[in-house]
Amino acid sequence: MTVSTTVLVTGATGRQGGAVARRLLAEGRPVRVLVRDETTASAAALAMAGAELVPGDFDDPASLSPALKDVAAVFAMPPTAISPSGPDTEREVRRGRALIDAAAAAGVEQVVFSTVASGSAAKVRIERHLFDTIALPTVLRPVRFMTNYISAGVLGVDGISGGAHRHLFPPDKPMQVVALEDIADFTALALAAPERFAGRTLELAGDQPTPVEAAAAISEATGIPVRYEQITDDEAEALGPVIAQTKKRWQAGHRWHADIETLRVIHPRLRTLTDWLNDSGAAAIRAHLLTTR
């Protein structure tokens, strides 16, 4: 009897899940991706790369079972849920639990679950359910993505606009960042050694420059001047209570604390910001800035 090695990847049409799917496909592992719409350009690109597309929706638990048939492991990244009044914690928890329960019902023993380093209330609850339900669970908690510099920014923060990177972070304090490729590498490592990574929670970062140092590195790598600006307390308040509270927590010292030295022992080729800029980041940032002027 042939034993399946197929991995179901959720969130594959997004940046993180897409990086994981491409990494696994590159090493020759069969990949199945859960998609709500098989006709999107990102879904078509995954199919062209060799992934099997399977329709499914976290809000329809019955649709998850077919996607999990004959699957060896799952990379899980249930989508967040936003209501008109803000984050919808209960809906996000239902989504995460639905996938975990469906995986357990299908006999899947290994799930690598990617959350966020700050650990939202919803994700912490999903993590607990994962550890209670799955035999070989691993939680990855990535910090801020290096690719966020390429984004258009959300709620007036992040990305680069008008020559400035604007954010909540104090300008002279370390700000941990991680490359999407490294999240994919850690996922591949965990999937290749289920027993070694079972029961572990890894906060993921590859570098920790200050925002000012990061802006200087981007300026040097791209040849385009970029400065850092911390948004004011009033600006944070205007962006809503979540942003305002997060800024206060950072000012008080509540930040990410990934152990980069230990992570580098596990994954010696862990990328620094400079590595990422030299590899692909500088070209991507330069192209983004030139098209948004």
Rounded distance between C-alpha atoms, residue 59 and residue 80, angstroms: 12
Structure tokens at 57: 């929706």
Q: Which residue has the higher pLDDT, 287 or 84?
A: 287
Rounded distance between C-alpha atoms, residue 41 and residue 149, angstroms: 23
pLDDT in tens, 211-228: 999 999 999 999 999 999
Rounded-to-10 torsion of CA 16, 285, 205, 255:
-110
Residue 191: φ, ψ to 5°? -65, -30
Rounded distance between C-alpha atoms, residue 251 and residue 218, angstroms: 24
Give the CA radius of gyration of the chain.
19
Name the residue ranges covered by the structural domains of the chain: 1-142, 144-179+205-256+270-293
Rounded distance between C-alpha atoms, residue 48 and residue 41, angstroms: 10
DSSP bridge pairs for 83: 86
pLDDT in tens, 91-126: 899 999 999 999 999 999 999 999 887 667 788 899
234 C-beta neighbours (distance < 10 Å), count = 9
Rounded distance between C-alpha atoms, residue 38 and residue 99, angstroms: 19
Find the largest Cα–Cα distance for the chain: 64
Residue found by looking up tokens 């802006």 in the block: 215
Residue found by looking up tokens 């490729």 in the block: 181
Q: How would CATH label the architecture of 144-179+205-256+270-293?
A: 3-Layer(aba) Sandwich (3.40)
Asked whether the predicted pLDDT for residue 2 surpasses 70, the reply is no
Rounded distance between C-alpha atoms, residue 59 and residue 230, angstroms: 38
Q: Which of 260, 140, 145, 143 is nearest to 202 (CA)?
A: 140
Q: What is the pLDDT of residue 3?
A: 62
pTM for this entry? 0.93
Task: For residue 166, give the H/E element and its range.
Answer: strand 164-167
For residue 72, CA distances in Å to 51, 64, 189, 196, 206 come to 15, 15, 15, 16, 29
Angle at 162 between CA 237 and CA 16, to 5 degrees: 75
What beta strand segments (E) does 31-120 contain?
31-35, 52-55, 73-76, 82-83, 86-87, 110-114
Q: What is the pLDDT of residue 211?
A: 97
The whole-chain average pLDDT of the chain stands at 92
pLDDT in tens, 237-283: 998 887 888 888 888 888 888 999 999 999 999 999 999 999 999 99
Q: Do domains 1-142 and 144-179+205-256+270-293 have the same CATH topology?
A: yes
Q: How would CATH label the architecture of 1-142?
A: 3-Layer(aba) Sandwich (3.40)
Structure tokens at 72: 């060896």
DSSP bridge pairs for 35: 55
Q: What is the pLDDT of residue 154?
A: 63
CA atoms within a 13 Å half-sphere pointing along the CA-CB vector of 241? 3
Rounded distance between C-alpha atoms, residue 55 and residue 106, angstroms: 17
Structure tokens at 134: 């799955």
Q: What is the pLDDT of residue 1?
A: 46
